[in-house]
Amino acid sequence: MAAPTRDPLLAETRSLLITGGIISIIVGIVLLAWPEATVVVVAVLLAVNLILLGILVLAGSLGAEISVGQKILGSFLGLLAILAGVVVLGRPLQTVGVIVVVVGAFWVVGGVLEFLHAIFGEVSGSRLLAMFLGVLSIGFGVVALSWPGPTVAVVIWLIGIWSLVSGLIRALLGFLTPKSLA
C-alpha cells in the first residue's frame, strides 16, 4: 500500500488559512481588550492587519491553481487591503472616517468573494463555514458602510469582533483542511 503523498498546494492553503486566522484572532483580542485605546493605536493595528492579510490573500491567489478570474479578484482584494493599510499607516488621525468606509468595503467585497468561492470553488475544510464567513463579512461591511458615524468605540468593537470571529473561522478551516491526499 502506497503512503499518502503530500500536496504542496493543499499544505500552502492550509498554512495560509491558519496563519491568517491567528493574525486576525490576535488583532481581535487586542482590540476587544483595549476598546478605549487611542485612535492612532487602533489605526496602526488595523493597518498592520490589513497589510498582513492583504499579503496573505495576494500570495494565496497568485500561488493557487485557480481560474484567471479568481486570481484577478483575489489579487485585487489583496492589493486593496495592502493599499488601505498603507494609507491608514500614513495618516492615522485623518483616516478615522475613511477607516470605517475602507473596512466596510473590504468586508463587503471580501465577503462576496468568499461566499461565491464557497459556492462555486473548491473549498478547504467546510463549505458551510466558508459560506458563513462570507455572509458574516458582508453583514459587518453593510453595517459599517450604512452607519459610519458611530463612536470610535463601536467601530473598534465591530472590527475586534469581526477580526476575532473571522480569524477563528479561518483557522478552523485551515485545521479542517487535510494535511495530505491519498
Q: For 74, left (φ over 0), alpha (ψ -120 to 50), or beta?
A: alpha
pLDDT at position 179, please? 73
Is the overall model pTM greater than 0.75, yes or no? Answer: no
Asked whether the beta carbons of 139 and 108 are under 8 A apart, the reply is no
Which residues are within 8 A (CB) of 162 and not within 5 positions of it... i.e. 6 or more apart?
Answer: 28, 107, 136, 137, 140
Partnered with residue 71 across adjacent β-strands are: none
Domain ranges (residues) in the chain:
8-175
Q: What is the mean pLDDT of each run of 10 residues along the chain (182 residues)?
A: 52 81 89 70 83 89 80 88 89 72 88 90 80 92 79 73 90 83 44
pLDDT at position 139, please? 93
pLDDT at position 67, please? 82
- Which residue type is seen at 152? V
Residue whose grid cell is 458611530? 150
pLDDT at position 10, please? 57
pLDDT at position 182, please? 40
